[in-house]
Structure 1
Amino acid sequence: MKKIIIYIIILLLYQDYSFGQSYTLEQCLQMALENNYKLKKAQNNIKSSEQDKKEAFTKYFPNISAVGGTYKTNNGMAEISLAPLVPGMEMSMMKDGIVAGISAIQPIFTGGQIYLGNKLTEIGTEISKYQLKQTEDEIILTVNQYYWQLVSLQEKIKTIEIMESLINNIQNDVKNAVDAGITNQNDLLQIQLKKNNIASSRLQLENGIRLSKMVLGQYIGDFESNFSIISPQLDSLPSPITYRINHIDALPSLNAYQLVNKNVEASKLQQKMKIGQNMPTLGIGAGYFYHDLLNQDHSFGMIFASVTVPISNWWGGTHAIKKQKIQVKNAELTRQNTREMLLIQMQKCWNELEESYKQMNISKESISVANENFRLNKEYYKAGTISLSDMLEAQSLLQQSRDQYTEDYTLYLIKRTQYLQATGQNSREGQTN
């Protein structure tokens, strides 16, 4: 009875371990875009810039302020002597009092500072959105890298299983040959060493899978659970020419290029702001005031206009304007440099994509050659024309060719994502193809 209970517990634990949540690449991408910490911070930055925009818009409205105060002195602030008329007669007034009022000032002309400030906050919001898109691209690329890394490791595990089956069959054949006196015990020792080597490779792959799953889980927001990924069939992939576009035409759609354009635009607005800060400002206002200074309540309304001319600012302001002009030139130089670097990056990504596709096809052909080579060496060994070492070497070449194809296949998919992002295309399109 105890054995049955233990068996049931082990079975339940095994089921819990084996039937965890499985994710496709598209599901991993969707989860990452919903749960990733970097993306949440970028989304918060947009919300923050939108609040800046709303704050700047309030500058168009009147500036309303209220003031109030009271005081008490030991002597009156105003003293009158009536000695010429009434000897010894003096008066002291305003020993205490109350003052209060409310006023509203509407800016009429500020050198364009309010308008320019609003435009700058709009640019700030747009920049935050472009930065969010950049963060999304980074997350998509990283999830792709770890997902296909996991696929590669899992495919290598499958290759290990094939190699284990092959080596077990060879071991049986060699054991029969040893028992028949056809070969010696040394061949069995060589096979055991080969099996140990395969077991060591399996252990390394399993550890790599566990670590890669932890990193991928951290990105997709499923760090704690024992999830798995669904490995797609390694079918034929479309040629890179399918994704090729004109790189110069792609420039305007790139986030990095949009950002440097916005940087130039912001620099020009900041230059105008510097000019506006050195111009006169005009405002009109109205207020209502109350005071009790002579033990008598008094209230009154008032309208007024104000003009402020920053005369002393002109001395340093001219240098500030010249400095900002230099900043505009630097922003334009940065844009030109970024343009050229983006074109270089697109060409580099294209070269790597094309190269990885060709390398993948070479690796695929190598598997067929390695399979045939192993088959022939196995026959030659049975015929006694080659040594066991030669046959085991042929098996190693078969394993290497399968692993190389897996690496090249997944690398091509990663390079495809990089090229799609570098050229401003939808990098999630056709991810599982």
Structure 2
Amino acid sequence: MIERKIKTLLLALFLPLAMQAQTVYTLAQCRALAQENNIQLRRGRLEIQSAQELKKEAWMKYFPTVTANGTYFIAPDHLLQEEVSLSTDAQHKLAGIITALGGNPAVLASLPTSYTLQAVKHGTLVSLMAMQPIYTGGRIVNANRLARVQTEVKELMLQQSADDVSRTTEMYYNQLLALYEQEKTLDAADQQLAAILKDATHAYEAGVVNKNDVLSVQLKQNDMAINRLKLQNGISLTKMVLAQYIGKAGENIDIDRTLTTQLPPPSELAVVHSSALEQRTEAHLLDKNIEANHLLTKMKRAEMLPTLAVGVAGMYQDLTNKGRFNAVGLATLSLPISNWWGNRALKRQRIAEQIAIDEKENSRQLLLIQMQSAYDNFETAYKQILLARKSIEQAAENLRLNRDYYEAGTGTMTHLLDAQTRDQQARNQYTEAVIAYLNSRTAYLIATGRGSQR
């Protein structure tokens, strides 16, 4: 007895602290956290940044290409060497020139008739060149357009991933919510069994029934206790999964346990599927796929066209210990002659473009089927809620009648316990129907391009 009081006291002391440390999240908060912390979405954001950098890189192709080169060299021997010999005729002519200038031609006899000219043993070469493309067959323009399309594709894929993360978050959230509702139903069932056990015990003590009725209720309570243990384990595990998914792994989280009663019929959310198709991320991706392939076809065609560029180059050279600067204008024209008969990439790309066009129509039809399937599931879930509500009313009335019959001595404990089980099952079925409704509603909203509006 003393030990039980100590446990009760400790529970009273530490339970408020545990509850205080627990953070309660709504569905909207869970979605926001999942969007912020999901690794797939973070990678998608980085891919968008990478695509934007590629877009900037493609834009720079409009500007001149500037290159600078600098070279200094030194050789073990002169690069230019030339042997020069004076012929007899040259010597006579040179003597005549010296005589005409008033000199003595005899001086030539003391000079060698062969010479070695040497030059350029080390030197410096520096150049700066800028080339501006004038005509490239559309490669630069289409490359920039393709970079823009690739960025838009990454953004659409990020939105697609965001919808998937939002839907998965809600599934985990609703799964935990369903377990909490089952716990509430179990609490109500425990109270019902406690009342039935009390009545059975009084009837047994009065000699109206035998002890078998009391034992039947106690066995039922044991089964309920086992189910509660399993349910608590399921709650604990589901909380861990949800916490990990929203980036709160290891934290003691909880959710808003209110099961919504706002369950409008699917007709209020229905839209014309052919119109909603234009809002689907997948439909936009199909359009972008065609646009990208069309641009790639133009770029492949541009590889068969000439390119023209003009530019200017400044050069400085110092080969003879005397620097010199010069500037020249440049113009280049390139003709890809071998591409005219050997390049098959253009034909392959035209085929890829046609495949993208054919795939679009087929995929749009599949998206329409998906929308209809999502709506059918949504409508089925709503009808299951209506049936579950009737089942709860019928099961409650059946339980009331069987309890009255048992107390009047005209019913059996077996029938009463069966009625109690059916009442519990009816309540759990209603919870499952509501959760299925919520999940199917989100699936339908996403399927019709409206995201998870809830």
Q: Indicate whether the TM-score tops 0.5.
A: yes
Work out the CA distance in 1 between the residues paired with 2:238 and 2:116: 95
Q: Counterpart of 1:278? A: 304
Is 2:377 the counterpart of 1:375? no
Q: For each residue in 1:189-210, what CA deviation from the matched residue of structure 2 results, as whole angstroms up to 9, or x when unmatched?
A: 2112211111121112211111
Tell me the secondary structure at the aligned position of residue 274 of structure 1: helix
1:410-425 alignment, distance < 5 Å: 410-425=435-450
Which position in structure 1 is the counterpart of 2:40?
A: 38
CA distance in 1, matches of 2:315, 2:126: 6
Structure 1 residue aligned with 2:377? 352
1:17 alignment partner in structure 2: 18
Structure 1 residue 7, shift from structure 2 partner: 8.0
Distance in 1 between residues matched to 2:11 and 2:214, nearest whole Å = 36
In structure 2, distance between residues paired with 1:73 and 1:187: 114
Distance 1:149 1:124, change over 3 A: same
**Does 1:291 find its partner at 2:292?**
no
2:190 matched residue in structure 1 = 164
Tell me the residue number matched to 1:316: 342
The residue correspondences of 1:135-154 to structure 2 (distance < 5 A) are 135-154=161-180
1:341 equivalenced with 2:343 (yes/no): no
Mapping for residues 129-278 of structure 1, pairs under 5 Å: 129-278=155-304
- Percent identity (aligned): 38
Q: What do residues 291-318 of structure 1 show as CA deviations (whole Å, max 9, x unaligned)?
A: 112332111111111111122233332x
Q: Distance in 2 between matches of 1:336 and 1:233?
A: 41
1:98 corresponding residue in structure 2: 124
**Counterpart amino acid of residue 77 in structure 1:** L
Using the TM superposition, name which of 299-308 and 75-84 deviates more.
75-84
What are the residue-to-residue correspondences of 1:50-69 with 2, within 5 Å?
A: 50-69=52-71
What do residues 34-86 of structure 1 show as CA deviations (whole Å, max 9, x unaligned)? Answer: 33222222111111111111111111111111101122223333222212456
The 3-state SS of whatever aligns with 1:267 is helix
Instruction: Tell me, in whole angstroms, the C-alpha distance in 2 between the residues paired with 1:182 and 1:349.
Output: 57
C-alpha distance 236-371 of structure 1, shift in aligned 2 (>3 A): farther
1:89 counterpart SS class? strand
Aligned to 2:421: 396
What residue number does 1:48 align with?
Answer: 50
Give the stretch that moved more between structures: 345-354 or 211-220: 211-220
Does residue 385 in structure 1 map to residue 405 in structure 2? no
Query: Given that residues 75 and 92 in structure 1 are in contact (C-alpha distance below 8 angstroms), is that contact kept between their aligned partners in structure 2?
Result: no
- Cα distance in 1 for partners of 2:128, 2:12 equals 79
CA deviation profile, 1:144-168 (whole Å, cap 9, x unmatched): 1111111111111000000001111
Shift of 1:125: 0.8
- The runs of 5 or more residues in structure 1 that have no matched partner are none
Rounded to whole Å, the distance in 2 between the matches of 1:9 and 1:175 is: 33
- Deviation string, structure 1 residues 261-313 (Cα, Å, up to 9, x no partner): 10010001001101111211111111211111233211111111111112223
Relative to 1, partners in 2 of residues 1:5 and 1:382: Cα closer, same or farther, differing over 3 Å?
A: closer
CA distance in 2, matches of 1:279, 1:226: 66
- Secondary structure (helix, strand or coil) at the match of 1:111 reads coil
How many Å apart are 1:385 and its aligned residue?
2.5
The range that moved more, 145-154 or 358-367, is 145-154
Partner of residue 73, structure 1: 75
- Residue type at the aligned position of 2:138: G
C-alpha contact 1:141 1:418 (8 A) present in aligned 2: yes
Who is 1:409 aligned against? 434
Residue 128 in 1 paired to residue 180 in 2? no
Q: Give the total of aligned pairs.
A: 426
CA radius of gyration, larger in = 2
Query: Which one-letter code corresponds to 1:375 in the other structure?
Result: R
CA distance, structure 2, for counterparts of residue 162 and residue 137 of structure 1: 37
C-alpha deviations, 1:217-273, integer Å up to 9, x for none? 122222222121112244251110011001011111110010011001000100110
Task: Determine the C-alpha separation between the residues in 2 that align with 1:216 and 1:48.
Answer: 31
Deviation at 1:5, TM superposition (A): 11
More displaced stretch, 322-331 vs 79-88 = 79-88
CA distance in 2, matches of 1:11, 1:290: 90
Do the aligned residues in 1 keep the contact of 2:86 with 2:114 (CA within 8 Å)?
Answer: no
Counterpart CA distance in 2 for 1:145 and 1:49 is 32
Alignment CA distance shift 1:200-1:293 (3 Å): same
Q: Are residue 118 (structure 1) and residue 144 (structure 2) matched?
A: yes
Following superposition, the deviation at residue 186 of structure 1 comes to 2.0
Quick one: which amino acid aligns to residue 351 of structure 1?
Answer: D
The one-letter code matched in structure 2 to 1:57 is W
TM-score, reference length from structure 2: 0.90
* Native 8 Å contact 2:172 2:242 kept in 1: yes
Q: Which residue of 1 aligns with 2:97?
A: none
Between 76-85 and 162-171, report the one with greater CA deviation. Answer: 76-85
Deviations 1:160-179 (A, max 9, x none): 00000111111111112222
> Counterparts of 1:112 and 1:16 in 2: how far apart (Å)?
69
- In the alignment, is the contact (CA less than 8 A) between 2:163 and 2:451 conserved in 1? no
